[in-house]
Every structure is written in C-alpha cells, then in structure tokens.
Amino acid sequence: MIPEIGHIFLISSLVLSLVSGLGSFIFKKELPIRKIALLMFLLVFGSFITLIYSFVVDDFSVAYVAQNSNINLPIYYKFAATWGAHEGSLILWILSMNIWLLAFISFDKNRNTNFSNIVFGVCSLVIFSFLLFTIFTSNPFERILPIPPLNGADLNPSLQDFAFTVHPPLLYFGYSGLLLPFAISISAMLSGQSNKDWASSSRPWTLLACSFLTVGIGLGSWWAYYELGWGGWWFWDPVENAAFVPWLLTVALVHSLIVTENRNLFVNWSLLLSIFAFAASLLGTFLVRSGILTSVHAFALDPERGLFILGIFSFFVLGGLVIFAFKNSTENKTSFYSLNSKEFGLLLNNVLLVVLAVSILFGTLYPLIYEAYTGGKQISVGAPYFEFIIFPFSILLGLLQGIALYLSWGSTKSFNFLTKLILESLSIFLLTLVLLFVLFDELIPASFFTIFIFSWLIVGSLLINFSFKSFSNYLDFINRRMGVLLSHVGMALLVLGVGVVSSYSSEMELILDTGEKIEFLNKDVELLDIKDINGPNFISKTANIKVSDSGRTFNLQTEKRTYFPSGQVTTEAAIDTGIFRDFYISMGDNFKGDSWSFKLQSKPFIRWIWLGALLITLGTFISSVNVLRRKS
Amino acid sequence: MFKKSFSLILIAIIYSLASANEPKVIYPFEDSAHEERFLSLLNELRCPKCQGSNLSGSNAPIANDLKREVYRLVKSGKTEEEVKTYLIDRYGNFIVYDPPFRPDTYALWLGPLFIFLITLSIILVILLTRFSSSKGNQ
Amino acid sequence: MKRFLNLIPLVVFVILVAVLYSFLTQENEQLESVLIDQSVPEFKLPALENPNNILSKSSVNKLPALINVWATWCIACRIEHPFLMQLKNESTLTVYGLNYKDDRKKALDLLEIEGNPFEFSIFDQQGKLAIDLGVYGAPETFYVDKEGIIRERHVGALTQKVWKEKFEKYLNEDNDV
C-alpha cells in the first residue's frame, strides 16, 4: 500500500510539474509559484519517504528494496540504501531539484515577475523530464508479485559505510544545484532582465552549488582512500571526472558572474557557462547511467535508459543554446579594460578553467571515441595523461589566483605589490621546505613547483603585504571577505597536500607471520594476531597490529571481510591519521595458513587535501549566505 | 589451491634467500632504481579484468599474475618502456594508462594545447579590435 | 558575424550529442585480442595428461583448431563443456585445452567425469602461456586457422550463438579452399 502511495505521489508531481511548467510560459501573469513549488516538493518528499519506509520495514515485495537491501543490513544502511542504485538515486536527485527551486522562490524578492516565472518554468520542466524518465523507465516502486522474496540481495558491501550516507546526497545536491543558474540564464535571455539583476540573482545559488559539489567530491575522495584499501585518493575514474568537469565550470561561472554583475561584461561567458555547467552535470548523469563506461561507480544499466537521458540532455542544452544563438543582443556600452585589469585576469581564468574542463572531458571520452573510430581497438586514458594535462593549467591558474585579489577593475595602477609578493612567497616556500625536511628527512625537487604555488597562493589570498591603516582594519577586511579568503586559502592547502603526498609517499609490501616484527620508516610494526570476527552481515579476518613510533605505541586493525549474501570481499584498511602524515596498513592476500601479505604506506600531508576542500566548501557557503543576506 | 602451491614455492625461495630477521618483502629488489621502476609500473598498468583499477590496487588473480610478470621483467633489467611494450604486445594498449603518442592519438595529446592557443588568440583579437575602435571613440 | 559566433556553441554540442549517441549504439564488453592475425606463441609446458610429455607450439599441429582456456574453478566452463564435446564430435575442428592455473588431479578427474573434448590439454599452472596469449580469465577460446594463425578470440562461455556469430565463418573459410 505504502509504495503505491509513493508511486501516486510521483505521478501527481509529474502532472503538476508539466502543467505548471508549461503554464508559467503561457500565462505571463501571476502564478502562485511558491505554493506550487511547495506542493511539488511535498509530493516528491512524500514519495521519497515511502521508499525509505519500504527499506526500513524490509518490504521485499518492492523490487528495488529486494535488489539493494537485506534483513541483516544494519538499519542506518537500510535507510541509505534508498539511494544505493539507479532508481532510488533518481528520486534523491529529483528531490534535490525541488529543494533548490523552493529555496530560490523563497528568497526571491521579485516574485511573480516574468523573470521569476520563467525560472520556475524551466526548473519545473527539468523536474518533469526526470520524473518522466523515472516513472517510465526506472520506477523504484515496482513490485515483485505474487510471491515476494523472503530476503533481499544486499547492499553492495563497498557501500556499507558511513561515507555512503553522506557522499551521494551532498554530491547530488551540488549537481542538481546547477539547475538554478541554468534556469536563471534561460530566463534572463527570454525575459530581458538586466545583466546586473540576473547575475546577482544567480551568484548565490552558483556559490551554493559549488559548495555542495566541493564537499561531495571531497567526501568521495576521502571515502575512496580509506574504503578501497590501497591508499589512493583520486583515480581519474570516468565518473570522478564527470564530477570534476562541472566543478571547474561552476568555479569559472562564479567568477564570471562577478564581472557581469559589477561591470556588465562577460555576459555571453556567464550565459554560456551557466548552460555548460548544467550540461556537464547532465552529462555526468548520462555517463554514469547509460552503461557506456566501465567504472566502479557506474550503475550497470542498459543503453535505452542512456538514450532517454541523452534526450533530456539534448532538449534542454541544445534548447538553451538555440535561445542563446537567437537572443537579442543586450549590448550597451562596453567598458574598456586593459590587459593588466581584474577583468582580463578573470577572462584568463575563464579560459583556463574551461579549456581544462574540456580537456578532461575529452580525455575521459577519448577511449570511447577511439574505439568507435578504429573499429573496436581499445585504449586506456588514465592518470599519466590527466596529470600531464592538469600540471600546466594548475601552474597558470595558481599564478593567476595569487595576484587576482590585487588587480583592480579597468586598470591596475601599480604592480609594486609583485616584488613583495614574490619575496614573501619565497620565504614561505623556504619555511615549508624546512618543515618538510624536519619531518621527513628529505627534500624532493619534484615537489618544489607545487609547494611554491602553495606559498604564492597563501600570500596572495591573505594579502599579507597589502597596506592597511591598522591591524584592526586588516581584521575588518578579513571579516568582510571571509568567504573569498577561506575558499582561496582552502585551494592553497589543497595544492600543498597534493604536492607533498604525490612526492613524499612511501610504501612496502611484505608477508608477516603472527608475532613478527619489522621496521618501516623508523617505526616498529608488529603483527600481534589474526582473529576471526563475526559482523552483522559479514565475517572478518582481522589483523591486530602494534606500531611503536618514537615512544608512542598504538594498535591498528586491518581486515578482510567476506559479506554473507553476496560473497563479496572487501579490504578495511588500518589508518593512523595525523596532521602531517597518515600511516596506512592494508591486508593483501592470504598465503599459507595464517600468513598474509600487508601493504604499509606513509601518506604525508594527505589530510591537507580534504582540509583544503572543506575550507573551499565553507568559503563558498559563507559567500553565498552573505550575498543572500545582503539582498534581503 | 593452484596459487597457494605456487606461493609456497615463492615463499620458500624468499625464505631461503633472506636471513631470518629480514622482512619477507613479496617483491624484493636489490637495486632501488629497479624497485622504483616496479612500483611506478604497478601504478601505470591496468588490471585487464577489473572495473578500472591499476595493478597496484588490485588483488584479482590476473593482477597478481601480471605483478609477478612485471617483477620478473624488471628484475631481469628491462626498462619501463620494455615492460610496457611486452604487456602491450599481449594485451593491447588497454593495459597501460598512459596512451601512446602516435598519429592516432595526436588529437588526444595535442588537443588541449591547441584549443587553449586558439581560444586565447580569438579572445586577444576580439579585445584588440574592440578596444582599438572604442578607444578611437572615447 | 555575431550571430555566427553565437551559433558555434550550438554546433559543438550537436556534434557532442551525435558522438554520445554513437557510443550508445556500440556494444563492447570484452577486450579485443591483439593476438589476432598472429601465430600461436612459442611455449614449453607439460601436458595435463602426462607430466613427462613436454608440449610446444609444434604440438598444436592438427589445424584448424580451437584453443580453449579452462579450469575446474571456472563455472562458465561447465556451461560450455557440452558444446565443446559437440564440436569435437561433429566438426572437423580439433579442440585443444589450456588448463589455466589449476590443480592437476582435479582437472583430470573432471575430464574423467564430464568427458574430454580436448586432443590434449596444456598444463599451464602458472599462467605463462595464458599471459602470452593475453588471457585474463576463463573461459576464453581462440580460433587457430589451418596456417596456424589466430583469427578470433572470445571471452566467456562458447555457446552455439557465439560460435555462429564469431567463429563459424573462419571454419567455412578453412574448409572452402
């Protein structure tokens, strides 16, 4: 009964979104868009709740529950299993879109103007198309009748983890948040809203979407690190790239909107970036769910669903670009800016970010292109390629970001700041090198470039040498620009983390017997014992390891788990986290008896990567809130 | 079973070669340059059977077999290129994450640079023409 | 001019959609073998049936033939086994086995119980020949034509359907001349 209610809610929201979406374009006068948006949200939310309910009560007559859950699954995972596979995750996506729409309308002062109506209309139609897709090809409420199974297949063991309860929802919020800048840009083109107005309208939502995307991607990286068991934190996996590309475009958009709002420039850039960012997020959905990519992330699906998503993608993106091609030019006087201006700096920023995004997308799709046009030959494009490509862009973007806050609109009067900037960056660079030498006993030249960029970014973000009348003035300045500072400093920390962990990591793989002790990087590592332990839905071989590190002794556990229904085996790594390094041990293979291989790794500064991502998340969130508050 | 008996042999060899106090490194090297090459290769070679994983991060049987093969090759002095060619001859380009630089992959390697230069040129041209004419008007 | 520039993004995305569409209509689940159009690699391995009998490339002399990679731990191999028996009995093809990373006794027992479609099986316990053939799992089947050249490789169980679609044409070619 309950699933049927969920199904009915879904169908109702389908009808409502279509009618109100079309209606907002046809009826240019007042539509109660706030009430409609609220109703749509409640319907989809209600539907979502019925699905969660079905999981929590183990209703295996619902096919989706049977495929993704199990009686022995701990309750918090039953809850999260709702978004464990394709059908349920679509409901989550649709729910996110509804929340964004509701939020936009709630904060929108200009309710019931043509502009707001069209934003509402575009959002409704996108929501409608996803609902159509869900109900007709991916319905989570389908029943297995007349004889429902007694137990379910189980949630994929790699998903049975805390991060699974937060990573997908946050990431989906980020992805779906790009709907608003898209809808706003379409509405801007159709309603003739002034550039300053629509750009200022779009900016907080773009910032917020960026915030969620950043934390979503950061969580994914952190999760992969401790879950997959071999110490990597980014794999250039096609699905990861599918999230990175919209992130890059969103960052470009955030900056482009600043110029559009303040200087009435980069109008076409901002419009196109709004469309591209949304297109990239739809493309991500397409790649993951169409079955054309091999990836641990991909939902194993058929091309027919891919076709539907491609249809949605074509309709909205191509539709938006048609509108762009034929819109009336709102060119008023173009203000002049020289090559040393903030405008030009941000223009370079746009170009670099967009070209990088396109390159990553191209590299991701290249194996498919290659296969299609060489009659079946296969090729892999992985880390070596992407690292090669991203390096020059990071250097250029890093250098740009360092000076960006010193540039002025129109023309920068003096570049005196450069000398001080270079000197101070060099100082911080040398200090960091000293620190690294003290911590790790070596200096690795390959890391120098990245560490210098880190120093450059720190000085540039904190405007350490900008002349302020007094320290309290400086504090005041920091307070007002908190969002920007946090984001930019976060970027600096991320760069530092990446640079150090890429060069300073070390590893050793060996076989240990019970009671055996070895030395790894001045630490004594002893395998105490290997026990068999029963978990709620798995059996585990748990290795207890004692580590002695200059006076400090601690125990770590690493496991090999075999999950009941599926038989799938996962590795749970043992991690001793530290601000300056992670010590990482994972169980490998079983040799004879209780002899197991272990991989020991040192990952220096890896936490700084996620700390940086967290600061960027906070910074963009604060900026967004500040803009919203300022407007109301 | 098959793997265990082979591993027994491997362990026996390692045991007999190493003193009792030395760690039983699975893939021991005397030459640290060789060890670096080995580790680097494990990161750059793809497991043919896994869903997007390199040899370093996989314990699938074929991945272990290939690790042993790479170990054997590196130990015998083969360069990184030679090991990669050896595997490409058997598994195709799929097995290396680093796509080759050949006529059929020029677009891949040169594409980004090309796009960047073109975009930059277009923009500079637009800017210069726009501002030279408007400068005349100001 | 401006109108022309504004159309560029649209054109680019139309191309993108076309490219994505073409990906959807492709079907590929296995790695294409690079051994195609090459001869069987040289090897020196014992036979499963008799450990003293050291086989080499020249032992694979009854051509055209199939080389089938199999093992007792491979479940799909059990599914294709009857069809292999059928091929052995009903066609002019010789079927050679490559026993992949297996236990000798278990393998011999299995052939005893289920029947032996193989002229002989190469006992490749360490998977050396398999690596030289680019094998990454079991079952896999290679078609070797009458000149000793590998013409096709299939990953997965060899069924009637797969035979018809991928291999039959090579046998017809070999029989035509």
For B90-113, write each residue's pLDDT tens digit: 999 999 999 989 888 999 999 999
Q: For domain C32-176, which CATH number applies: 3.40.30.10, 3.40.50.720, 3.30.365.10, 2.40.128.720?
A: 3.40.30.10
Is A523 found in the same domain as A499?
Answer: no
Which token pair is A298?
């991909």
Q: Bigger pLDDT: B50 or A14? A: A14
Is A148 found in the same domain as A2?
Answer: yes
Query: Hey, are the CB atoms on A597 and B39 less than 8 Å from each other?
Result: no
DSSP-assigned beta bridge partners for residue A290:
none
Interface membership of A594 toward B (CB under 8 Å): no
Residues 233-292 of A with CB under 8 A from C: 268, 272, 275, 279, 286, 290, 292
Tell me which H or E stretch contains B41: helix B32-44
Q: Is residue C116 left, alpha or beta, with left meaning phi > 0 and alpha meaning psi from -120 to 50?
A: beta
Interface membership of A390 toward B (CB under 8 Å): no
Closest-CA residue to A617 (of A448, A474, A491): A491
Tell me which H or E stretch contains A542: strand A538-549
Q: What is the mean pLDDT of chain A?
A: 90
Instruction: Tell me the domain boundaries of chain B.
Output: 2-98, 101-138
H-state helical runs in A108-237: 114-137, 162-177, 179-191, 195-227
Which token pair is C123?
């006992």
Lowest mean per-residue pLDDT among A219-223, B63-67, B134-138: B134-138
DSSP-assigned beta bridge partners for residue A25:
none
Contact indicator for C69, C130 with CB cutoff of 8 Å: yes
Residue with token string 């050896």? B86
CA distance A242 to A220: 13
Q: Given this model, what pLDDT does residue B138 score?
A: 42
Closest-CA residue to A152 (of A77, A72, A91): A72
pLDDT band at B89 (very low <50, low <70, confident <90, very high): very high
Contact indicator for A583, A464 with CB cutoff of 8 Å: no
Query: Hey, are the CB atoms on B93 and A385 less than 8 Å from each other?
Result: no
Is A498 found in the same domain as A553?
Answer: no
Interior CA angle at A627 toward A625 and A631, to 5°? 115
The residue-averaged pLDDT of B28-52 equals 89
pLDDT band at B18 (very low <50, low <70, confident <90, very high): very low
Q: Is A399 helix (H, G, I), strand (E, B) or coil?
A: helix
Is A145 found in the same domain as A10?
Answer: yes
Among A287, A309, A321, most C C-beta atoms within 10 A, so best to mutate, is: A321
Q: Measured between alpha carbons, how far is residue C26 from residues A290, A294, B137, C23, C151 in Å?
A: 12, 14, 57, 5, 22
Contact indicator for C69, C138 with CB cutoff of 8 Å: yes
Give the one of A358, A374, A384 whose C-beta lies nearest to B98's C-beta: A384
Residues of B in contact with A383 (CB under 8 A): 43-44, 54, 97
Q: Is A333 helix (H, G, I), strand (E, B) or coil?
A: coil
Is A408 found in the same domain as A475?
Answer: yes
State the complex-level ipTM. 0.88
Number of helical H runs and strand E runs in chain B:
5, 1
Total of domains in chain A: 4
pLDDT band at B11 (very low <50, low <70, confident <90, very high): low
Closest-CA residue to C6 (of B119, A182, A321): A321
Query: Hey, are the CB atoms on A310 and C7 less than 8 Å from each other?
Result: no
Query: Hey, are the CB atoms on A290 and C22 less than 8 Å from each other?
Result: no
Q: Is residue A196 left, alpha or beta, with left meaning phi > 0 and alpha meaning psi from -120 to 50?
A: alpha
Interface membership of B61 toward C (CB under 8 Å): yes
Give the one of C32, C34, C136 whose C-beta lies nearest to B89's C-beta: C34
CA distance A173 to C139: 43
Give the one of B48, B65, B89 whose C-beta lies nearest to C31's C-beta: B48
How does DSSP classify residue A329? P
Phi, psi of A463 (to 5 degrees): 50, 45
- Rg for chain B (alpha carbons), in Å? 25
The alpha carbon of residue B98 is apart from the nearest alpha carbon of chain A, in Å, by 5
Amino acid at A168: P
Residue with token string 């991909």? A298
CA distance C172 to B49: 32
Amino acid at A71: I
Closest-CA residue to A5 (of A37, A40, A41, A53): A53
Estimate the share of chain B in helix, then strand, then coil, as percent rounded to the nearest 5. Answer: 70, 5, 25
Stated pTM of the model: 0.92
Residue A598 lies in domain: 506-608
Tell me which H or E stretch contains C97: strand C94-100
Q: Given this model, what pLDDT does residue A110 score?
A: 67
Give the one of A286, A324, A371 whose C-beta lies nearest to C20's C-beta: A286
Q: From the centroid of its chain, how far is CA A67?
A: 27
Q: Which residues contact A553 (CB under 8 A, 6 or more apart)?
A: A546, A547
Is A199 found in the same domain as A345?
Answer: yes
Is A185 found in the same domain as A141?
Answer: no
Whether residue B23 is predicted with pLDDT greater than 70 in this model: the reply is no
Please report, rounded to a whole number, the percentage of residues in chain C having pLDDT higher than 90.
76
Interior CA angle at A126 toward A121 and A132, to 5°? 120
Query: Hey, are the CB atoms on C131 and B90 less than 8 Å from each other?
Result: yes
> Is A385 a member of any domain?
no
Please report, rounded to a whole number, the percentage of residues in chain A having pLDDT higher than 70.
96
Q: Which residues contact A624 (CB under 8 A, 6 or more apart)?
A: A204, A205, A207, A208, A211, A483
Please report, rounded to a whole number, the percentage of residues in chain B having pLDDT higher than 70.
79
Residues of C in contact with B69 (CB under 8 A): 131
Is A571 found in the same domain as A595?
Answer: yes
Contact indicator for A156, A168 with CB cutoff of 8 Å: no
pLDDT digits (tens, 9 = 90+) for C14-38: 999 999 998 888 766 678 889 999 9
Estimate the share of chain A in helix, then strand, then coil, as percent rounded to the nearest 5. Answer: 65, 10, 25
Helices B32-44 and B61-75 pack at an angle, to 10 degrees, of 150
Interior CA angle at B33 toward B32 and B35, to 5°? 60
Whether residue B136 is predicted with pLDDT greater than 50 in this model: the reply is no
Residues of chain C with pLDDT below 70 are 1-2, 27-29, 177
Do β-strands A552-563 and C121-124 pair in parallel, antiparallel, or remain unpaired?
unpaired
> Is A284 a member of any domain?
yes
Whether residue B30 is predicted with pLDDT greater than 50 in this model: the reply is yes
Phi, psi of A396 (to 5 degrees): -65, -45
CA distance B98 to A363: 11
Contact indicator for A528, A535 with CB cutoff of 8 Å: no
Whether residue B115 is predicted with pLDDT greater than 50 in this model: the reply is yes
Residues of chain A with pLDDT below 70 are 28-29, 110-112, 294-298, 300, 328-333, 464-467, 632
The count of other CB atoms within 10 Å of the CB of residue A621 is: 20
Instruction: Tell me the domain boundaries of chain C.
Output: 32-176
Is A297 found in the same domain as A231?
Answer: yes
Q: Is A383 helix (H, G, I), strand (E, B) or coil?
A: helix
Residues of B in contact with C35 (CB under 8 A): 90
Q: Is residue A443 left, alpha or beta, with left meaning phi > 0 and alpha meaning psi from -120 to 50?
A: beta
Interface membership of A261 toward B (CB under 8 Å): no
In the complex, which subunits touch B with 3 or more CB pairs below 8 angstroms? A, C
Query: Hey, are the CB atoms on B119 and A363 less than 8 Å from each other?
Result: no
Fold exhibited by the domain B2-98: Helicase, Ruva Protein; domain 3 (1.10.8)
Q: Which residues contact C78 (CB under 8 A, 6 or more apart)?
A: C114
Q: Given this model, what pLDDT does residue A494 score?
A: 97
Do β-strands C65-70 and C94-100 pair in parallel, antiparallel, or remain unpaired?
parallel
CA distance A558 to A519: 18
The residue-averaged pLDDT of B34-59 equals 88
Residues of B in contact with A568 (CB under 8 A): none
CA distance B62 to C164: 29
DSSP-assigned beta bridge partners for residue C122:
C47, C98
CA distance A510 to A503: 22
Q: Which residues contact C77 (CB under 8 A, 6 or more apart)?
A: C70, C71, C138, C139, C157
Contact indicator for A275, A182 with CB cutoff of 8 Å: yes
Do β-strands C65-70 and C140-144 pair in parallel, antiparallel, or remain unpaired?
antiparallel
